[in-house]
Chain A
Amino acid sequence: MSKTNGISIGRRIFNRIGTYGRSLVIGVPLWWLIIFFLIPFAVVFKISFAESLIARPPYSKLLEWKDGLMVLKLHLSNYGYLIDDDLYILAYWSSIKVAFFSTLIALLIAYPMAYYIARTTERRRGVLLMLIILPFWTSFLLRVYAWIGILKTNGIINNVLMSLGITSEPIVMMQTNFAVYVGIVYTYLPFMILPLFTNLVKLDNSLLEASADLGASPITTFFKVTLPLSMPGMIAGSMLVFIPVVGEFVIPALLGGPDTLMIGKVLWNEFFSNRDWPVASAVAIVMLVLLIVPIVLMRNAQQASAGASS
């Protein structure tokens, strides 16, 4: 072996370590996604093609060796169920509906709040942001339970209303869709406020001044300048609310009534009451596909706005 060869091998090894190191650093988020998203997804995807059995675990294997043959059995019927019975379509649809209206309500409440926080003095801003984040320090479950205490028949609201003589009979608020909306909007509001705030706080004041100088009324300025510029914040906030709400299970389970039909509950039923993990997996896969569409839309919108601003 010649000397030059030895050097080039050494350099190659060194280079390779450098490449590995670099890809290692870049690879951390990638590995995160692979371990916590792709692999679980693959497992669920696999189960969605199995047959449900009374066994542990309660589904069949996809691959089997039979007389030296490898047999792959895919049970597509699990997806067939979802079409055969209108329950699933209704549940997807009503989940999307609930998510849509919750997002809309959250946006309407969050926008003025975020706007005020962004425009107020620096000192007050810190305090207000703190107040938005503070509830996160208590358990999410406790906060939903607190709403039960507020909304129930013998709860705070009814007690106040009745002692003031405004109503004679308690108003039934628990176990209604109203309670579900209250719970969802309350829980997800910070996820709407924070992206809106980070967007609005960057708003260039000189643009507003220019608008005013050119004779636009404050209302015109808001709709022609502020609102379009805050679009990325509104989209980010809406996605952060919309996507988790579609699959929300805990809030409708605790605050909702039996007629609150959401896909999270249907999934629970498939998994627990029917013990049909394959169909439950199929429901989850379809839900994921339904959610990917808005995610892609959001990415496109963000890229478009990034392209426009640069």
Chain B
Amino acid sequence: MKKLLSTVALVAMMTSPVLAAEKVLHVFNWSDYIAEDTIKKFTAKTGIKVTYDVYDSNEVLEAKMLAGSSGFDVVVPTADFLQRQIAAGVYAKLDKSKLPNLKNMDPDLMKALGNFDKGNEHAVIYMWGTTGIGYNTKAIAKRLGDKAPTDSWALVFDPANAAKLKDCGITLLDAPTEIIPAAMNYLGLDPRSTKKADLEKGAALLTKIRPFVRYFHSSQYISDLANGDICLSVGWSGDVFQARDRAGEAKKGVEIGYSIPKQGALQWFDTMAIPVDSKNKDAAHTFINFVMDAQITADITNYVWYANGNKASLPMVEQEIKDDPGIFPTDEVKDKLWGAKVYAKKTDRIITRLWTKIKTGK
């Protein structure tokens, strides 16, 4: 799909009515995270050419932002990273007079985002989702039987289960601040705890299942799940749904399921923001406003299978997506979700060190 996207961007560039001398908007977004026609429609409507680039981890985006002069005009950080980057002075304040489509946004979700960005001054919600379990239904049933606890973290965090899935392949996101809290949640600890002892307990559990983990990666699992190369991923909701779609298209008999574990899961927000050194702030506002259009956001959700923060778009979102509790969780499940925690520098270092220890055993 990344290839497809660059083709789209290329076509958008070639068919653009404006001359090469016109400014180009540089958008930096997560991989596999936009509808196929969004950029094309934007260029057709506004005449602004877009260079579209992708990343697959917040850390990569953050390093670029902290170095400065990234050349990007619109970027999509996750809310906890956004908060730290705002503190570092990375983002420009939004000019809300240029964003009339803000009226489409869900006020409750924007209020939740306010925990990270006071008064919603720097960012608007792009998509949101959960970090849960994606699994190959047949492979799991074959190894754990029909009573496999697919609705629980026990499926992966119970070493007895993980051991049985070793041969078909378990993967975890390479995102320590999402996986360690999930393990803490399974142990009945507060997933947002910053106590060293709690973090170490989570890490100890992960060390126990470590021998059964094939790899830690934040994007490769999409195609590997779809192809049947692996059978269980702790991953991001929409990515797992994309794997399910691709598996369906490939028709090799692979069926993928996604579940938000009953113990709870991380709920995260990805947001659109404008770097303070962007040279096209007007065009960047135009782009953000364009994406907040109800139909455009609905198109993106229909394509990437992530929930959005755009209330006005919901009527246009496909029923199948709206009814999927993995995407739009029930209220009961919603109560169990937790928001990301912004850690102090010292805690960051502890988590990274624990993560290296989990991964390498050293």
> Which positions in A face B, CB cutoff 8 Å?
52, 54-58, 85-87, 90, 152-154, 169, 172, 175, 257-261, 266, 269, 271-276
Contacts and interface: CB of A to CB of B under 8 A. Distances in A.
B112 interface: no
A154 B59 contact: no
A275 B360 contact: no
B169 to A, nearest CB: 7
B68 A56 contact: yes
B59 A273 contact: yes
Interface stretch (B84-92, B195-203, B326-334): B84-92
B90 A56 contact: yes
Contacts of B169: 153
Interface string B339-362: 000000100110011011001111
Given A56-B89, A153-B229, A273 B66 contact: no
B59 A261 contact: no
A152 B169 CA distance: 12
A258 B227 contact: no
Contacts of B348: 273-275
A213 B214 CA distance: 59
Residue of A153, A269, A271, A273 with most partner-chain B CB within 10 A: A273
B167 interface: yes
B213 A274 contact: no
A273 B355 contact: yes
B181 interface: no
Contacts of A153: 169, 229
Contacts of B345: 52, 54, 275
Residue of B353, B355, B356 with most partner-chain A CB within 10 A: B356
B216 interface: yes
Interface of B: 57, 59-60, 62-63, 65-68, 84, 87-90, 167, 169, 176, 213-216, 227-229, 345, 348-349, 352-353, 355-356, 359-362
Given A52-B345, A153-B169, A258 B215 contact: yes
Give the secondary structure class of A's interface.
loop
A175 B220 CA distance: 12
26 contacts: A54-B88, A56-B65, A56-B67, A56-B89, A90-B362, A154-B227, A154-B228, A154-B229, A258-B213, A258-B215, A258-B360, A259-B359, A259-B360, A261-B356, A269-B352, A272-B57, A272-B59, A272-B60, A272-B62, A272-B63, A273-B59, A273-B348, A273-B352, A274-B348, A275-B348, A276-B349
A172 B63 CA distance: 34
A90 B66 CA distance: 29
A149 B346 CA distance: 40
B127 to A, nearest CB: 23
A274 B349 contact: yes
Given A57-B67, A154-B227, A274-B348, A269 B356 contact: yes
Contacts of A271: 63
Contacts of B352: 269, 273-274
Contacts of B349: 274, 276
Contacts of A261: 356, 360, 362
A52 to B, nearest CB: 7
A169 to B, nearest CB: 7
B229 A258 contact: no
A54 B82 CA distance: 12
A273 B174 CA distance: 10
B62 A87 contact: no
A90 B228 CA distance: 35
A239 to B, nearest CB: 28
A257 B212 CA distance: 12
Nearest to B67: A57
Contacts of A57: 66-68
